[in-house]
Structure 1
Amino acid sequence: MVKVVKFGGSSLASAAQFAKVGDIIRADESRRYVVPSAPGKRNAKDTKVTDMLYSCYALAEAEEDFKGALKKIKERYNSIINGLNLTLSLEDEFRTIEKNFADKAGEDYAASRGEYLNGIIMANYLGYEFIDAAEVIFFDENGNFDDYKTDKAMAERLSHVEKAVIPGFYGSDSNGNVKTFSRGGSDITGSIVSKAVHASVYENWTDVSGCLVADPRIVENAQPIKVITYRELRELSYMGASVLHEDAIFPVRKAGIPINIKNTNAPEEPGTMIVESTCQKADYTITGIAGKRGFVAVNIDKDMMNSEVGFCRKALEAFEENGISIEHMPSGIDTMTVFVHQEEFEGKEQQVISSIRRLVNPDIIDLEADLALIAVVGRGMKSTRGTAGRIFSALAHANINVKMIDQGSSELNIIIGVSNNDFDNAIKAIYDIFVMTQI
């Protein structure tokens, strides 16, 4: 058995957390490949090292004195090194970073140093080989992740290494410069490594005991999800559930490798297993609830719209022309509604309206702002009658007006539109009807 283990920033924020991680890795010989994030917050008032690096580089780019800021970053790392009683020195690394900051090496380079330095410490602490992610993870000339080249290089390199630490979050572009994934990209690195070594399981360690049915900031003591499929998690991640980076699913999904979300501070808890498919019945009809605020509904009405060939395509051109992505598009015989992100739409609303008028000549265009979308996701919904009815009933009892409901043919999820002000109460109501009534 081969396990790839990725540890998040909160799991590596201090020497004490490092020691917990060391115990977890040493407790299982199959945990052979380790992907660390940069140190996160040690407490609520603390600053993540990645944010410190961004701020430090901004000073360098503005040609202001950044050495004081860099010194504070060095102190963060030295506190970990000293707390672990290591003889390691990062002086040479920080001299190189200082020079490259002065030479304007780029924001991606700056941000990546958090994982890079933490990777050096982790390798030294465990006695594992350190492999710079820039040597095994690649992006093409357009800045897109090159999965073929990466998989080939990573598999070749790790085939000769029994145990290794590969920093998360970054790789290199076609010119050899450091290039990062989006924030939270260390999850993707762990997934890439897992695919390359044909891991039995990819363990993603964080500060929560797996995925929860609903956001614990909204629903107190939300129940954990024991098993979830890739498709279900993809739907929840897209709608705001943030335990795992949504793009981390693709490499392991292709290889059929399960992901286990675990808690560094409670390693004995089983966490959540993320799998391709399962015959295990979910504890509840729904698997999870997630959502986002801040949408606008663009309602387009035109008599006999349904008989006009190409109407929807032409209407959507108005959004494409103005560089606005579309979230959902429920429609009727004479109406179609396009949901878009309010922040993206507000500055271009009149251009979009003009374009719609020009392209499809509608009878009425109406806008409704300050809306939220909530996804109710679950493989169990397909075989359970009355799911939508229970949702409507729960929302009605909570005095919440439903603005939109949309269900895909897969019956894996139902999307509900409500007012921003009703967002929290809507999630609580749905959670209560499906979870609390079964406990």
Structure 2
Amino acid sequence: MDTSMAIKVVKFGGSSLADAKQIQKAAAIIQADPQRRYVVPSAPGKRFSGDTKVTDMLYACYALAEAGVEFQKELEAIQARYDDIIAGLGIQLSLADEFAVIAENFRKRAGKDYAASRGEYLNGKVIAAYLGFPFVDAADVIFFQPNGSLNDQKTEEALRARLTDLENAVIPGFYGCGADGYVKTFSRGGSDVTGSIVAGAVKAALYENWTDVSGFLVADPRIVENPAVIRTITYTELRELSYMGASVLHEAAIFPVRAAGIPINIRNTNAPEEPGTMIVPDSSDEEVSAYTITGIAGKKQFTSINIHKDLMNSQIGFCRDVLSVLADHQIPLEHMPSSIDSMTVIVDTEHLKGIEEQIRTEIIKAVQPDSMDVEENIALIAVVGRGMCRTRGVAARIFAALAHARINVRMIDQGSSELNVIVAVKEADFEQAIRCIYDMFVNSVAE
């Protein structure tokens, strides 16, 4: 492998590769930078609203095969999608043999994972032919353990061995080889995970993830109109926002590059001039957000269990006994603010369904509280940012923004890292609360 030039691994999502025009955009991006050496494509996504993704077409087609129903017409429709792409790219390529193999394997019940993976496999073949790059089947270089987890060592060794002598390559995303020798897909993260694994294996300088948005947004655009783009975010900040419901990369797609200290750049295929969002290691000296906060995210459907008992702080094991009740029922704890005479535990409402009275009874038996009440329809909002630990009065500004909108804060919780502040509000106030916090920390700065 030529080490004289920094390596970039580039992954393109389904919307970026939905048709020939989109693939030409992606190819222009790849060809514009010789450092973009290894390409990880997704299957073709939707070309327009109401269209069907190729992966969904494959699932539907295989369902017919599994049911013993003739599926040739549906498979031909999928082949037509690829033939349209090939014609639009103006390349000499036939996938007839590939589709004959797929048809045979569908009749042999090769499995849903095999069926789903063919979208990436075929698109990889097309893109490799268009770029003139070698095609590397992911099933030859990515391996899973018997329990379904990634076989990290075997995968890294195989990727390095295969790519060492290849200046460029196309490695389709989403799948690899299971411990049984059959094709297996990633349960979550899809092609994002493949791109991250390849980047880690070749010690890339940067992992570019090309999609249809110009980076991550400070807040949900369904709640805040035209929110600002996050230019730089650390892996820890990203994890905090992701946990609280922000639509970001799945943890499995982050770990391989995070462990290797490789930054990720989220870019827009349709606006390649935009810098996008750079995800950097926590130790990075990259410039922090232009605002005190980096992002705002939140989720609804939580329940607050409020427990009061005089001299609670002097009763050894009080909190432990309460948490033991939740643990016995496999209920994860979200947050637990407390004072000398009271504590509150916030849990996902879904986990309490059908057993709320039983939980209440067991807590009363365990700690004999003076009073206890349960409040449903609670929403949690996370305000996250590295800049918060260097700025005074962040919590006060959050309270001020919410108080001005007459929104009652049910709970506030700040971690020792001072990286995030969590506030609980009624679900009915959720959207308005996010808008108020955004106005306080972003719009007030922009004006």
TM, length-normalised to structure 2: 0.92
My pick for the range that moved more, 174-183 or 130-139, is 174-183
Q: Are the equivalent residues in 2 in contact too, given 1:49–1:73 (CA < 8 A)?
A: yes
Q: Which residue, 132, 136, 139 being the options, matches 2:137?
A: 132
2:300 is aligned with 1:285: no
Q: Which residue, 150, 163, 187 being the options, matches 1:182?
A: 187
My pick for the range that moved more, 12-21 or 339-348, is 339-348
- Structure 1 distance, partners of 2:145, 2:328, is 27
2:121 is aligned with 1:109: no
Alignment-derived partner of residue 382 in structure 1: 389
My pick for the range that moved more, 60-69 or 135-144, is 60-69
Q: Which residue, 53, 57, 60 being the options, matches 1:55?
A: 60
- Residues matched between the structures, number: 439
Q: Are the equivalent residues in 2 in contact too, given 1:406–1:415 (CA < 8 A)?
A: yes
- Structure 2 distance, partners of 1:102, 1:357, is 59
Q: Give the aligned residue type for 1:101.
A: F
- Percent identity, please: 64
Q: Show CA shifts across 1:129-164 (max 9, x none).
A: 111212222221222223232222222221122111
Q: Show CA shifts across 1:386-415 (max 9, x none).
A: 001111111111222222211110000111
Alignment-derived partner of residue 69 in structure 1: 74
Q: Are the equivalent residues in 1 in contact too, given 2:188–2:252 (CA < 8 A)?
A: no
Q: Which residue, 79, 84, 88 being the options, matches 1:83?
A: 88
Paired residue secondary structure (2:208): strand
Q: Give the aligned residue type for 2:125.
A: I
Q: Which residue, 339, 343, 347 being the options, matches 2:350?
A: 343
Q: Are the equivalent residues in 2 in contact too, given 1:238–1:246 (CA < 8 A)?
A: no
Structure 1: gaps of 5 or more residues: none
Q: Are the equivalent residues in 2 in contact too, given 1:138–1:149 (CA < 8 A)?
A: yes
Alignment-derived partner of residue 153 in structure 2: 148
- Structure 1 distance, partners of 2:359, 2:105, is 44
Larger radius of gyration: 2
Using the TM superposition, give the Cα deviation of residue 215 of structure 1 relative to its aligned residue in structure 2, in angstroms: 1.6
Q: Show CA shifts across 1:347-389 (max 9, x none).
A: 4434544554555454544332222221111000001000011
Q: Give the aligned residue type for 1:371.
A: I
Q: Are the equivalent residues in 2 in contact too, given 1:375–1:413 (CA < 8 A)?
A: yes
Q: Is the alpha carbon distance of 1:99 and 1:275 closer, same or farther for their aligned partners in structure 2, counting shifts above 3 Å?
A: same
Q: Are the equivalent residues in 2 in contact too, given 1:227–1:275 (CA < 8 A)?
A: yes
Using the TM superposition, give the Cα deviation of residue 100 of structure 1 relative to its aligned residue in structure 2, in angstroms: 2.9
Please provide the CA RMSD for this pair.
2.1
Q: Where do 1:159-198 residues align within 5 Å?
A: 159-198=164-203
Q: Is the alpha carbon distance of 1:93 and 1:433 closer, same or farther for their aligned partners in structure 2, counting shifts above 3 Å?
A: same
Q: Are the equivalent residues in 2 in contact too, given 1:204–1:260 (CA < 8 A)?
A: yes
Q: Are the equivalent residues in 2 in contact too, given 1:139–1:171 (CA < 8 A)?
A: yes
Q: Is the alpha carbon distance of 1:295 and 1:96 closer, same or farther for their aligned partners in structure 2, counting shifts above 3 Å?
A: farther
- Structure 2 distance, partners of 1:180, 1:346, is 32
Using the TM superposition, give the Cα deviation of residue 94 of structure 1 relative to its aligned residue in structure 2, in angstroms: 2.3
Q: Are the equivalent residues in 2 in contact too, given 1:185–1:245 (CA < 8 A)?
A: no
Paired residue secondary structure (1:265): coil
Q: Is the alpha carbon distance of 1:352 and 1:102 closer, same or farther for their aligned partners in structure 2, counting shifts above 3 Å?
A: farther
2:416 is aligned with 1:409: yes
Paired residue secondary structure (1:382): helix
My pick for the range that moved more, 305-314 or 138-147, is 305-314
Paired residue secondary structure (2:379): strand
Q: Show CA shifts across 1:218-237 (max 9, x none).
A: 21121112211111111112
2:231 is aligned with 1:220: no
- Structure 2 distance, partners of 1:405, 1:283, is 25
Paired residue secondary structure (1:129): coil
- Structure 2 distance, partners of 1:133, 1:260, is 23
- Structure 1 distance, partners of 2:22, 2:439, is 35
TM, length-normalised to structure 1: 0.93
Using the TM superposition, give the Cα deviation of residue 279 of structure 1 relative to its aligned residue in structure 2, in angstroms: 5.0
- Structure 2 distance, partners of 1:142, 1:364, is 46
Q: Are the equivalent residues in 2 in contact too, given 1:141–1:174 (CA < 8 A)?
A: yes
Q: Is the alpha carbon distance of 1:317 and 1:120 closer, same or farther for their aligned partners in structure 2, counting shifts above 3 Å?
A: farther
Paired residue secondary structure (1:368): strand
Paired residue secondary structure (1:291): strand
Using the TM superposition, give the Cα deviation of residue 264 of structure 1 relative to its aligned residue in structure 2, in angstroms: 0.4
- Structure 2 distance, partners of 1:213, 1:368, is 29
Using the TM superposition, give the Cα deviation of residue 303 of structure 1 relative to its aligned residue in structure 2, in angstroms: 4.2
Using the TM superposition, give the Cα deviation of residue 259 of structure 1 relative to its aligned residue in structure 2, in angstroms: 1.0
